[in-house]
Amino acid sequence: MPGEKVQGVTLDVKRGEILGIGGLAGQGKIGIANGIMGLFPSEGNVRKDGTPLPLNAPRTSLDSRMAFVSEDRRGTGLLLDNSIEFNIVATATQVQNKFLGGGFPSMIDTKQVTDYARRMIKELDIRCTGPTQFVRRLSGGNQQKVCIARAITLEPEILFVSEPTRGIDIGAKKLILDHLVKLNREQGLTIVMTSSELAELRLVCDRIAIICRGRLEGILLPTDSDRDFGLMMAGEYHNFHRKEAV
Partner 1 sequence: MENSLLNRIGVPRLIISLFLAFLVAAAFSYGLPMGQIFSAMLTRFGMNALLVLAMIPTIQAGAGPNFGLPFGIICGLVGTTLAIELDLRGFPALFFAIAVSIPLGAVAGWLYGLLLNRVKGQEMTVGTYMGFSIVSLMCIFWLMAPYNSPEMIWPYGGEGLRVTVVLDGRMEQLLDRFLSFSVGSVVVPTGLLLVTALCCVLLWAFLRTRTGLAMSIVGANPRFAEASGLNVNKYRMLSSIISCAMGAAGIVIYSQSYGFIQLYQAPLYMALYSVSAILIGGASLQRATISQALIGTFLFNALLVIALPVANVAMSSDISEIMRVIISNGIILYALTRKEVGGDAR
Q: Which residues bind partner 1 (CB under 8 A)?
A: 37, 39, 58-63, 68, 70, 72, 75-82, 90-91, 93-95, 97, 100, 105-108, 134, 136-137
Nearer to partner 1 by Cβ, of 57 and 221: the residue is 57
Question: What is the spatial distance between Cα 191 and Cα 39, in angstroms, rounded to a whole number?
Answer: 18
- Among left, alpha and beta (phi > 0; psi -120 to 50; other), residue 44 is left
Nearer to partner 1 by Cβ, of 7 and 82: the residue is 82
Residue 190 beta carbon to partner 1: minimum distance, rounded to whole angstroms: 20
DSSP one-letter string for 12-46: ---TT-EEEEE-STTSSTHHHHHHHTTSS---S-E
Nearer to partner 1 by Cβ, of 68 and 237: the residue is 68
Nearer to partner 1 by Cβ, of 79 and 219: the residue is 79
Residue 36 beta carbon to partner 1: minimum distance, rounded to whole angstroms: 12
Nearer to partner 1 by Cβ, of 33 and 231: the residue is 33
206 Cβ contact partners less than 8 Å away, ≥ 6 residues apart: 17, 18, 19, 221, 222
| Three-class secondary structure of residue 155 per DSSP | coil
Residues in the chain: 246
Residue 200 beta carbon to partner 1: minimum distance, rounded to whole angstroms: 24
Q: What is the dihedral of CA 33, 179, 118, 101, to 10 degrees?
A: 40
Question: What is the spatial distance between Cα 138 and Cα 131, in angstroms, rounded to a whole number?
Answer: 12
Residue 140 beta carbon to partner 1: minimum distance, rounded to whole angstroms: 17
Question: What is the spatial distance between Cα 50 and Cα 15, in angstroms, rounded to a whole number?
Answer: 12
Question: What is the spatial distance between Cα 19 and Cα 221, in angstroms, rounded to a whole number?
Answer: 10
239 burial type by CB count under 10 A (0-12 exposed, 13-18 middle, 19+ buried):
exposed
Nearer to partner 1 by Cβ, of 24 and 80: the residue is 80
